[in-house]
Amino acid sequence: METMTINNPMSAAQLNVAMYRYLGLIAADESLMEKAVKYVQKLAASKAKVDETEYVMSSPRMVEILREGDQEIAQGQGQTVELEDLWKYQSSF
């Protein structure tokens, strides 16, 4: 099987072509396709987490709120809320 070494930076379009090419080579093997899909799902979930974190951390005010919350927790302040009761407190956020 021919392999493609990715040493040089490739454009998104080139990477897309390479991905589909390799998927085409394994398309008849259900086990390999399942592994490929599971791996891509993990990558997508990881990307979503990074995007969410970057979005939150892009706001200086949100970073300040998070730091204040960390300090309150370290000082033993705050209150514990049972997960099933969390909805009762949503208007205070």
User: What is the reported pTM?
Assistant: 0.48
* Confidence band for 5, pLDDT divided at 50, 70 and 90: low
Q: Is the pLDDT of residue 3 over 80?
A: no
Work out the pLDDT band at 91, boundaries 50, 70, 90. low
Tell whether 21 is covered by a domain.
yes
Is residue 4 within 8 Å of 17, Cβ to Cβ? no
Residue 67 resides in a domain: yes
**How far is Cα 42 from Cα 40, in angstroms, rounded to an integer?**
5
Domain that holds residue 18: 12-77
| pLDDT tens per residue across span 16-70 | 999 999 999 999 999 999 999 999 999 998 888 888 888 888 899 999 999 999 9
In a domain, 90, yes or no: no
How many domains are contained in the chain?
A: 1
According to the model, what pLDDT value does residue 88 have? 81
In a domain, 45, yes or no: yes
Q: Give domain status of residue 86, yes or no.
A: no
Are the beta carbons of 81 and 92 closer than 8 angstroms?
no
